[in-house]
Chains A and B, each alone.
Chain A
Amino acid sequence: MSATKILVNLTQPPYGNSRAKDAIDAILAASAYEQDLRLVFTGDGVFQLIKQQNGQAIKQKNLAALLSAFPLYEINQVFVQSSALNERGLAENDLALPVTLMTDDEIGVFFEQHDCVLSF
């Protein structure tokens, strides 16, 4: 059986609720099953990728540091909603991981190209 194409859609900011951390746990679990795994950061989810963040100040693990470990797990296919960056005054070089930018239209098509979308 060929690998299932799983897309993880990250929609929430890194702090304030547990969703971003929940997503990281699920992504690492999925990577262990050698499925065809891609991540897309949309909306406030793009805040998770900011290089300069300090979770310790609010007694939280630094989320970008956790995300930076993804290449070690061979999770390399990371996509970002370009309009979400623009709307928040961010640019690609503010981000902690190498990413591929996508337009809203491209993301719509992208969702359809996967067998399953896990939303966090």
Chain B
Amino acid sequence: MKFTIAIYGAPGSSQSAQSALNFANAVLAQGHEIYRLFFYADGVHNGSQLACPPQDEANLPQQWQQLIQKNNLDAVVCIAAGLRRGVIDNTEADRYEKDSHNLRADFELSGLGQLVDAAVQSDRLITFGN
């Protein structure tokens, strides 16, 4: 079955980010396909390169990146939500004349059309975070 996972919660403030990661692992372990990960609202913080959680706590952005790399997943961070919250890539840093950028490799900034496309193309769309 083709799944899309929408993540609205930030690591460090919402358990939903960890739940989404656990669910993504379970989906793949059961032999299903992940069509897309879509990070929206505070969920965009899962794509930050600059999060430095304590050593004895889960590093969700890092774990997401490993999962994405290992399984060659499509991981989209909503560009509007990312811009609002300061999760931006090189291109947006140039456009808004910022002196740094922090989107992790293997994540992509794109629009809400990617969520709509995923809703249409996937058998199941599961949302984490209320």
Q: Is A18 an interface residue (CB 8 A)?
A: yes
Total B residues in contact with A, Cβ cutoff 8 Å: 19
In contact, B112 and A26 (Cβ under 8 angstroms): yes
Residues of A within 8 A of B113 (CB): 29, 32-33
Residues of A within 8 A of B51 (CB): none
Contact with A along B93-121 (1 / 0, CB 8 A): 00000000000000000011101110110
Total A residues in contact with B, Cβ cutoff 8 Å: 19
- Complexed CA–CA distance, A117 and B42 (Å): 20
- Complexed CA–CA distance, A22 and B41 (Å): 7
Given A18-B41, A29-B112: A4 and B130 interface contact (C-beta under 8 Å): no
Residues of A within 8 A of B127 (CB): 118-119
Q: Is A82 an interface residue (CB 8 A)?
A: no
**Which residues of A come within 8 Å of B, CB atoms?**
4, 6, 11-12, 18-19, 22, 25-26, 29-30, 32-33, 35, 115-119
